[in-house]
Amino acid sequence: MTTATVAPAKQVQPGAVPPPTEPTQGIPRWVWVLTILAGWIVVWSFTKGTDTLALSGQDQTDFHARLSDRVGTFGDNPVTQGIANFINAIIDSLRGLIATPTPPRPAPTIGWLGVTAVATWVGYAVANWRIALLVAASFLAFGLFGFWEDSIDLLIVTLVSVGFAVVIGFPLAILIALSSTAARVVTLGLDLLQTMPTFVYLIFVVILFGIGAPTAVICTLAYALPPIVRISGFGIRDVSPAAIEATDSLGQTTWQRLVKVQIPMARKTIILGLNQTILAALSMAIIASYINGPGLGKPVLSALTRNDFGAGLVPGLLIVLTGIMLDRTTTAASERSERVARGGGEDPRRRRLVLGALLVPVAVAVWYSRYAIDAANFPATTWGRSTADVANSWMGSITSVLDTVAGKLADLVSYGLLNPMESLLADSPWWLSCAGLLLLGVVIGGRKAIVPTVLCLAVIYQLDLWHDTMVVLNMTLVATLLVMVLGVVFGVWMARRRAVDLALRPLLDGGQTIPAFVYLIPVLALFGPTRFTAIVAAVIYAAPAAIKLVADGVRAVSPEVVEAGRSTGSTTWQEITKVQLPMAKGSLVLATNQGLLYVLAMVVIGGLVGAGALGYDVVFGLANGEYAGKGLAAGLSIVLLGIMIDRVMRSAAERAGAGAPARSGSVRSRGFGGWRRSG
C-alpha cells in the first residue's frame, strides 16, 4: 500500500492576493512576451506596408463625414445659446467691473488699486496676514509684469467656473454620500468626464456654444467638477459612525444629521475638494485660450506658436503664481476654520473690529481708483519685456550649448526606439497588430484583460483611424519607457536617502502643479517642433507621479527584509535589484500604469508641436467644422487606447499582488477613471 506524499501548503501572508490560475503559469511572462514579439516580427517581415489603414492628415472617410454632419445638427440650439448668453453676461459684467475699460470710461469701474485692496482684505478675512501679503504681492506682480488685464480675466473665468462647479457639484457630493445607487450613477459620469481628453469634449462644446468666454467656462467647469464631487462626497460619507449614532439617538432627521453633523465634521475635506477644483480650473487657462477664452493663456499660446520662450515664460509663471496664491489661500482658510471650530484662534470680537477698521482704507482705495487714472489703469512698466529678453538670452545660451547633445539624444531615441517600434506597430497589417496587442494584453494582464482589449481594439478599428492610433501607441510606449527609467532611478534614490527625498519632492510637486503648456515652451525651444518634443514634454509631465510612486513603494518594503539581505553580505546593487525592487513590484506596475496614462493625456498637446497622428486630428477637427467628425473619432480613439492600457495594467497589478484597485483612489491623480492631476 503506498501513501501519497502531500506537499506542505504555501504560506500566504494576510491580505495578500492569491495567485490566479493563468494559461501562462509555469513559464515566465517575459518569455511569452519575447515569443509573441518574435512571431510578430517574422510575419511583419513578409506583410509590412499592407493593410495599414493609413490616412493622411486632411483625408477623412465616409464615416467621419457622416459623423461631422450628425455632430453639426446639435448647433443653433436656443437652449445652449441662452446658457451662453447668460454666462457671457456674467463674464462681461465682471470684466467691466474690475478688468477692462467700460466706455466712455477709459478704465474699469474699479481700478487696479481698489481691486488689489479688496483682494488683500479678503485674503486676511478668510485666512491671515501672511496670506493677505501673498495676495497683495501676486496682484502687484500682475501689473508690474504688464499682464494685469489678462491676469484678472483668468481669475474671473476661474472663479466663475468654480462657482458653477460648487453649485452643481456640492449637491451631487451630498447625493453620492447618502445614496450608494446615486454614487454608482454619478461616478460613472465623473469617470467619463475624467477619461475623455479635454480637446475632445471641446469639440462638442464649441459646436453647441460657439467660441469665447462661455465655452471656456463650460469646458473649465467640466474639467473642474469631478474633484469637488468626489472629495466632498468622500468626506461627508466618511464621518465617524460613532458621531452619527450619538446624534441619531437624539431623534434628528436626515437633514439635521447632514447639516449639523456630517457637513461640519467634513469641513476640512470639503475645502480640500474646493482647493483641487480651483487648481483644476486654473490648469485649463491655456486650453481655454485656444477657443478664444480670456486670460493669461492667450499670451502663452501666442508665444508657443511663435516659439518665443521669454514671451511665454512670463505669463506662464504668472499662471503658476496665481495657482500658488489660490492654493495657499484655500489651504489657510481650511486651517483657520478648523481652529475656529475647535475654539482656537484669535478673539472673534477683536478680529471683527480689525476687519471693520480695515474696510476704511479699502473703501478709500476703491473710491480713489475710480477717479485717478494711475490708480485705475496700472502704470506701464518694462519688467515683463525685460524679463522675457533675459529669458530668451538665457535660453539661447543653453540651446547653443546643448544643441549638439539635444540633437544626438533625439537621434538616439528616434532611430533606436521610435522608428523601429513605429515600423512594427504602424506598418504591420491591422489584423497583425490587433492580434499581437491582444496576445500581449493577455500575457501581461491575464484573462481579465481579454474582454476590454477585444472591445477597445474593435471600436478603434471601426473609428477608421487605426494607423494614427498605432503611431500614438508607439510614442506612448517609448515615453513611458523613459518615464520608468527616471522613475526607478530617482525613486530608489529618494527611498534610500531621506535628504534626497526632501530635496526632490518639492520639485516633483512643482512639476505636477505647472500647466503642461508652460514647460512645453522651453522644450520646444530646445528641440523644435518634432514628435520628440512631444515625447520629452510628456516625460516631464508624467515622471513626477511615477517617481513618487516608486519611491513610496520601495520605502514601504519591510526593514526586516532589507536587513536580512544585508546580513547575507548583499551589495547595495544586489539589495536594490534582488530585494527592494522585487518586493515593490506592485508599485512599479502601478507607476507604469500611471506613466502610460499621464503620457497619453499629452497626446493632443503633442499634436500642437509636431507629433501629428491623433493629436493633430483632434486639433484640426476643432479648428475646422467639416472635420469635426474626424476629430471626435480621434479623441474617442485616445480614450479607448487609454481604457485598454488601464485595464491591462490594473489586471497586471492585481496579478503582482499589489492590491492596485484598493490603492488607486489615493495615489492616482489623473487616470482613466481616477482623480485628475491638480494644476
List C-alpha distances in Å: 526 to 3, 392, 401, 435, 530: 74, 12, 10, 39, 11
Query: At 677, is the pLDDT very low, low, confident or very high (cuts 50, 70, 90)?
Result: very low
| Closest to 336 (Cα-Cα) out of 132, 175, 176, 95 | 132
Q: Taking residues 423-427, what's their average pLDDT?
A: 87
User: Domain 29-71+399-667 belongs to what architecture?
Assistant: Orthogonal Bundle (1.10)
pLDDT winner (highest mean) among 504-508, 566-570, 610-614: 504-508
| Per-residue confidence (pLDDT) for residue 344, from 0 to 100 | 64
CATH, domain range 152-308: 1.10.3720.10
Judged against a pLDDT cut of 70, whether residue 639 lies above it is answered with yes
Judged against a pLDDT cut of 50, whether residue 455 lies above it is answered with yes
Query: At 412, is the pLDDT very low, low, confident or very high (cuts 50, 70, 90)?
Result: confident
| Per-residue confidence (pLDDT) for residue 553, from 0 to 100 | 82
Per-residue H/E/C for 551-572: HHHHHCCCHHHHHHHHHCCCCH
| Closest to 666 (Cα-Cα) out of 549, 494, 542 | 549
| Per-residue confidence (pLDDT) for residue 479, from 0 to 100 | 86
Taking the C-alpha atoms of residue 594 and residue 604, their distance in angstroms, rounded to an integer, is: 18
Angle between helices 309-341 and 267-282 (to 10 degrees): 170
Query: At 14, is the pLDDT very low, low, confident or very high (cuts 50, 70, 90)?
Result: very low
| Per-residue confidence (pLDDT) for residue 20, from 0 to 100 | 45
pLDDT winner (highest mean) among 82-96, 186-200, 407-421: 82-96
| Per-residue confidence (pLDDT) for residue 74, from 0 to 100 | 67
| Per-residue confidence (pLDDT) for residue 374, from 0 to 100 | 84
Taking the C-alpha atoms of residue 55 and residue 61, their distance in angstroms, rounded to an integer, is: 9
Query: At 251, is the pLDDT very low, low, confident or very high (cuts 50, 70, 90)?
Result: low
Q: 438-451, pLDDT tens digit by residue?
A: 999 888 888 888 88
Q: Is residue 582 exposed (0-12), middle (13-18) or buried (19+ Cβ within 10 Å)?
A: exposed
List C-alpha distances in Å: 105 to 68, 99, 370: 45, 12, 10
Judged against a pLDDT cut of 70, whether residue 345 lies above it is answered with no
Q: For a pLDDT cut of 90, what percent of the chain falls above it?
A: 12
Judged against a pLDDT cut of 80, whether residue 671 lies above it is answered with no
Number of H-type helices and E-type strands within the chain: 34, 0
| Per-residue confidence (pLDDT) for residue 140, from 0 to 100 | 94
| Per-residue confidence (pLDDT) for residue 113, from 0 to 100 | 93
| Per-residue confidence (pLDDT) for residue 164, from 0 to 100 | 92
- On the question of a common fold for 29-71+399-667 and 152-308, the answer reads yes
Query: At 673, is the pLDDT very low, low, confident or very high (cuts 50, 70, 90)?
Result: very low
Q: Between the CA atoms of 550, 551, 555 and 561, what dihedral angle is there, to the nearest 10 degrees? A: 40
| Per-residue confidence (pLDDT) for residue 665, from 0 to 100 | 35
Cβ atoms of 651 and 169 within 8 Å: the answer is no
Query: At 464, is the pLDDT very low, low, confident or very high (cuts 50, 70, 90)?
Result: confident
DSSP code for 147: -
| Per-residue confidence (pLDDT) for residue 250, from 0 to 100 | 65
Under DSSP, is residue 404 helix (H, G, I), strand (E, B) or coil?
helix
| Per-residue confidence (pLDDT) for residue 248, from 0 to 100 | 65
| Per-residue confidence (pLDDT) for residue 5, from 0 to 100 | 40
* Higher-pLDDT residue of 200, 66: 66
DSSP-assigned letters across all residues of 599-653: HHHTHHHHHTTT--HHHHHHHHHHH-GGGHHHHHHHHHHHHHHHHHHHHHHHHHH
| Per-residue confidence (pLDDT) for residue 676, from 0 to 100 | 39
| Per-residue confidence (pLDDT) for residue 76, from 0 to 100 | 64
Query: At 434, is the pLDDT very low, low, confident or very high (cuts 50, 70, 90)?
Result: very high
Least confident of 171-180, 223-232, 554-563: 554-563
Q: For a pLDDT cut of 70, what percent of the chain falls above it?
A: 86
Mean pLDDT of the chain: 79
Query: At 559, is the pLDDT very low, low, confident or very high (cuts 50, 70, 90)?
Result: confident
* Higher-pLDDT residue of 472, 458: 458
Cβ atoms of 649 and 593 within 8 Å: the answer is yes
Q: 307-331, pLDDT tens digit by residue?
A: 788 888 888 889 888 888 888 888 8
Judged against a pLDDT cut of 50, whether residue 664 lies above it is answered with no
Domain ranges of the chain: 29-71+399-667, 152-308
Judged against a pLDDT cut of 70, whether residue 666 lies above it is answered with no
Judged against a pLDDT cut of 60, whether residue 302 lies above it is answered with yes
**CA count, 13 A, side-chain hemisphere, 310:** 15
Q: 28-51, pLDDT tens digit by residue?
A: 777 888 899 899 999 988 898 888
Q: Taking residues 127-147, what's their average pLDDT?
A: 92
| Per-residue confidence (pLDDT) for residue 188, from 0 to 100 | 76
| Per-residue confidence (pLDDT) for residue 204, from 0 to 100 | 75
* Higher-pLDDT residue of 55, 666: 55
| Per-residue confidence (pLDDT) for residue 295, from 0 to 100 | 84
Measure the CA angle with vertex 447, ends 445 and 453; round to 5°: 65
Taking the C-alpha atoms of residue 671 and residue 60, their distance in angstroms, rounded to an integer, is: 30
Judged against a pLDDT cut of 70, whether residue 352 lies above it is answered with yes
Per-residue H/E/C for 59-114: CCCHHHHHHHHHHHCCCCCHHHHHHHHHHHHHHHHHHHHHCCCCCCCCCCCCCHHH
Q: Taking residues 659-675, what's their average pLDDT?
A: 37
Judged against a pLDDT cut of 70, whether residue 19 lies above it is answered with no
Taking the C-alpha atoms of residue 91 and residue 114, their distance in angstroms, rounded to an integer, is: 19
